[in-house]
Structure 1
Amino acid sequence: MTAQGDGSREKYTIGEVVEQLRPEFPTLSVSKIRYLERRRLLSLSRTRGGYRLFSRRDVELLRYILKLQDEEYLPLKVIKERIDRGEPFYSSQDSPDGLSRLAEDRTYTREELAETVEVEPPFVDELASLGVIGRNGDLKQRDVEIVRMAREMAKYGIQPRHLRGIMAAVEREAAMFKQILNPDLRSGDEARIAEAMHKARHLAGVDSRLKELMMASIIESFAP
């Protein structure tokens, strides 16, 4: 893409940004970006002729918003609250995917994870032994969040061993998604595999939101 503007700071047109991000987000369009700007999730500079210009930071912020929509199925109001709180979404010009990538890639020892979440190491060990964390051999940022939520549930008497049933249900649902997407996953075509992984994450987000709504309906029936 052609750099514009003053100094070494790169600027991109809205069309260039759509072209750049569409492999990750196939449904991305110019109109969607304009909508996000109207909702004040993006604040873009303009040329004298009124054309929108994106800095590298703007591009990474947009990627962050789209990931939260597609992978966590969050409403725009919640995403805006995260942005307004100043949550990091990039690190530097040299690594546009920045802090989010660094957080995802960092690994923890059991002691480091326990200290981060303020639990005892045996609590971490039990979750690992049940396959709730460390499924790929390493303890990563995702596992930190899982342990943090498990600690919160333990406050109500729901111990790690009780999560075995939840984990089994998750595995069944993941197996169903994999079966649906297997033709693409086993195609050997990198583009098809990447698209299948994107669909799997989207399905996971929809599934999570669906269960949240179903649970809310059930909880409402608790009261006599």
Structure 2
Amino acid sequence: MRRTPTGGAGHGTAGGDQLVSIGSVLSQLREEFPEVTISKIRFLEAEGLVEPKRTPSGYRKFSAEDVRRLAQVLRMQRDHYLPLKVIREHLDAPARGERPPPPSESGPVDSGAADEFLSEKPTAARVGRAELLAAAEVTEAELDEWESYGLITPSAESAYDAESVTVAKLIADLGRFGLEPRHLRAMKAAADREAGLVEQVVAPLRRHRNPQTRAHAEATAKELAALSVRLHSALVQTALGVRLP
């Protein structure tokens, strides 16, 4: 049985109403969660798991309750492989006047339940070629060219996932600035490399003998994808010297 180190995150060492910086929170959490990072804390904030206060200059300030809540989120992820949505509902239950169920009741608790969760994951929505052309407001010739550069790829059944519509719209928008498909191949290659990095982390989870661990793989992939997108955005903004709203 894991124990929270004395004086660690589980004991609210932020001290009553005292507010502490994200660096201090990181130090407290690392006593029990050595792998946690500042990016992870920011991601959990972005997902609505914690809402630190902000100083007039925009710096995060965390209360003892924030630290306790973060520790509980990390503990439920580590010990029960629960997705963030389930964890959020569990933690918010008291505010709704409900009694939170034990963590084991909030997620897969046995092989059968986990396998059922994995087998019943909804498949991505698919659209036909005509639907994609209409939704993205592009021509057949444009779509043919984008496909020739590998920017959009149909399935074996000549269908497209819903995200292809977004990709098509963005390619068209960039085209209005003179960026042609040949210019965008570098972006596609970078995206493929980022996806490969995520897959390196997630692949062992998907192959794990424990069904609960396999069920945890999808949540991990989404979290890594979100962090990757945020990093890419930050790097582009830094390189251009601009800041997006």
- Report the TM-score, using the length of structure 1 for normalisation: 0.52
Could you say which residue in structure 2 is the equivalent of 1:115?
134
- Aligned ranges for residues 1-224 of structure 1 at < 5 Å? 23-25=82-84, 27-28=87-88, 30-32=90-92, 51=97, 104-109=124-129, 111-134=130-153, 136-137=155-156, 138-220=159-241
- Following TM superposition, the consecutive aligned residue runs of length 4 or more in structure 1 with deviations greater than 3 angstroms are 29-35
Q: Cα 1:220–1:139, aligned 2, differ >3 Å: closer, same or farther? A: same
Structure 2 distance, partners of 1:116, 1:186, is 37
Structure 1 distance, partners of 2:209, 2:143, is 37
Structure 1 distance, partners of 2:92, 2:227, is 20
8 Å CA contact retained: 1:181, 1:196: yes
- Give the secondary-structure state (helix, strand or coil) at the position aligned to 2:88: coil
Structure 2 distance, partners of 1:189, 1:149, is 40
1:24-44 deviations in whole A, cap 9, x for unaligned? 436435445678xxxxxxxx7
Structure 1 residue 150: Cα displacement: 0.7
Structure 1 residue 206: Cα displacement: 0.8
Structure 1 residue 52: Cα displacement: 5.5
Amino acid in the other structure paired with 1:147 = A
Q: Cα 1:33–1:148, aligned 2, differ >3 Å: closer, same or farther? A: farther
1:79-132 deviations in whole A, cap 9, x for unaligned? xxxxxxxxxxxxxxxxxxxxxx79x423222x3311221111121122223332
Amino acid in the other structure paired with 1:134 = T
Amino acid in the other structure paired with 1:159 = E
- In the alignment, structure 1 segments of 5+ residues that lack a partner are 1-21, 36-43, 45-50, 54-100
Q: Which has the larger radius of gyration?
A: 2
8 Å CA contact retained: 1:106, 1:141: yes
- Give the secondary-structure state (helix, strand or coil) at the position aligned to 2:208: coil
8 Å CA contact retained: 1:114, 1:121: yes
Structure 1 residue 166: Cα displacement: 1.0
Structure 2 distance, partners of 1:205, 1:127, is 25
Structure 1 residue 203: Cα displacement: 0.6
Structure 2 distance, partners of 1:206, 1:131, is 24
1:36-70 deviations in whole A, cap 9, x for unaligned? xxxxxxxx7xxxxxx369xxxxxxxxxxxxxxxxx
Q: Cα 1:192–1:113, aligned 2, differ >3 Å: closer, same or farther? A: same
- In the alignment, structure 2 segments of 5+ residues that lack a partner are 1-80, 100-121
Structure 2 distance, partners of 1:214, 1:33, is 38
Of 137-146 and 26-35, more deviation after overlay is shown by 26-35
- Give the secondary-structure state (helix, strand or coil) at the position aligned to 1:28: helix
Structure 2 distance, partners of 1:177, 1:195, is 14
Structure 2 distance, partners of 1:131, 1:32, is 44
Give me the identity figure in percent.
23
8 Å CA contact retained: 1:134, 1:140: no
CA RMSD of superposed structures (Å): 3.1
Structure 1 residue 134: Cα displacement: 2.8
Aligned length: 139
